[in-house]
Structure 1
């Protein structure tokens, strides 16, 4: 099991990366106060069980939470929507289930979310598009130059004969495995402007709302293997950076909207 005392170090610990092991039991209670420095938690590909500790809502500096491929038994943690810096939430194949509530709030949830992977769980009902995906980040980020998501940067200084000098600089860069263009792809680095949504292999129902066309930063959208109905929204034509679109294995009907001809970056399209 992960030692309980890990939670005691969350005030100074910045990165917890323990993926691809055989840890079981429950997650420790991180961030018992709002003073935590934790920026990244990756416990993917283990055998963790039961519920997420609600103390995670106190991790106000948390940018990436990767829970994929575990054995949790919990509902969607809507309470994580208050985290101001959360960019990555990956919960693929982790035993989550139930209806995601439509939060009754005047404020957008998940304001900085850029990557959401809920695939291969047992979620039901209508997906709360407007609450979870209303943040400014999903509407596109303008970057000067190529920037990658990093948890922190640090410098190493070395002593010389008469003074200290800069020896090297390092940064802890995020990495993640996502379904991309029909294949599992390992991203050794994640660009700040990369945005992806994967809701596939659940039991989401209802229609894909026209609202989805507001998420102009999207590169990949996968809602396959659900029980979605109605038509393909014409607003998908507004997603000019979209590279992969998978709507297959649903109950969608009607024509493919002509507006999708505008998607000049689209490389993979499955219906």
Structure 2
């Protein structure tokens, strides 16, 4: 079948190995084996599919290390290996230049997130939104065939009938990746969905993510990320869904723009976070916690120990004069006995409080 361009065997009950031998010179642009029970390794003869744009092997039982040789497919735009049994670190060469969607979620990949992998995603470094044209990945042009693709974005699992060339997605969630989040991800300015959740990532949220101007969904939940949320992320005007929950983040949540729309669920499980929408207040109008001390209060005209002592003296003097005056009037005019007792009690209270205040200072 030398003229075959689409091989779609997805969502069946196929089992065993992929023992197909893809011959040199084939015209396959789409290969979809997802949703089966296929086992063992990815056949290396796929390297002969030089026209391949979509490879979907998701939701099987494949067990292999990362097939880095797939990066030699110069026009590959969608790679889906999700929900299999892949394992080990990801090592790549200078490849995957045309990739737009890469989904390696729900496997056993480990080690640090490979900086070289993100460096080679040249197609993701272009913001296709500016072109104004709507193009689809692997648009085969068959009226009766839908080149659908399942993606997880904005916290939902969606089936896209077709994938736009601007629908740029990285999903490395539910693996065992460690180390820091590479700041070079900020160079992938066409990125719309970034999901690194449910790993063992540490370090800080890189401020370089502010460069992802069309990012719509960012999920870094269930990791070990520490430090503060960069204030620069407020500039992400397209961000619709943010999930930073269950990390070790501290400090004040940035205020303004999209950050004013996110709910508690975006931040829960970070005991050190404060500010809206959490119940812990940051204090201050700028979202930064405010602290004061006696020296600052004195400089700003507030109460200081010296001012309080002067107030005590003034209150004591006034109270004594008023008390003596009332006693003189009462004795002169022979006021009732109950009024006399009230006056004595009042003067006693004043004197007692002044003595306590004197001891305090």
* TM-score, normalisation: structure 2: 0.64
Check if 1:94 corresponds to 2:84.
yes
Q: CA distance change for structure 1 residues 141 and 85 in 2, over 3 Å: closer, same or farther?
A: farther
Q: Give the CA deviation at 1:132.
A: 5.0
Equivalent of 2:5, from 10, 14, 18? 14
- 1:205-220 pair list within 5 angstroms: 205-220=178-193
SS at match of 1:123: strand
Distance in 1 (alpha carbons) for counterparts of 2:228 and 2:47: 43
What corresponds to 2:215 in structure 1?
A: 242
Which of 14, 23, 26 is 1:23 aligned to?
14
Query: Which residue in the other structure is 2:100 paired with?
Result: 114
2:41 to 42, 47, 51: 51
Q: Which structure shows the higher helix fraction?
A: 2
Q: 1:80 aligns with which of 70, 73, 82?
A: 70
Give the aligned length: 242
Q: Distance in 1 between matches of 2:109 and 2:119?
A: 17
Residue segments in structure 2 that go unaligned for 5+ positions in a row = 245-361
Find the residue that maps to 1:41 and give its secondary structure. Answer: strand
Greater relative contact order structure (CA < 8 Å, 6+ sep):
1
Question: Residues 76 and 266 from structure 1, CA distance in 2 versus in 1: closer, same or farther, beyond 3 angstroms?
Answer: same
SS in structure 2 of the partner of residue 251 of structure 1: coil
- Structure 2 contact 84–107 (Cα < 8 Å) conserved: yes
Cα drift, residue 73 of structure 1:
1.1
TM-score by length of 1: 0.85
Residue by residue, what CA displacement relative to the aligned partner does 1:199-240 show, whole Å, maximum 9, x if unpaired?
000000111111000000100000000000100000000000
What's the C-alpha RMSD, in Å, of the aligned pairs? 1.6
| 1:56-205 alignment runs, 5 A limit | 56-103=46-93, 108-131=94-117, 134-142=120-128, 143-153=131-141, 170=143, 173-205=146-178
Distance 1:31 1:141, change over 3 A: farther
Which shifted more, 11-20 or 214-223?
11-20
Q: 1:13 to 1:149 in 2, by over 3 A?
A: same
CA contact (8 A) 1:228 1:252 kept: yes
Residue 179 of structure 2 aligns to a residue in which SS? Answer: strand
Q: Measure how far apart 1:150 and its partner are.
A: 3.0
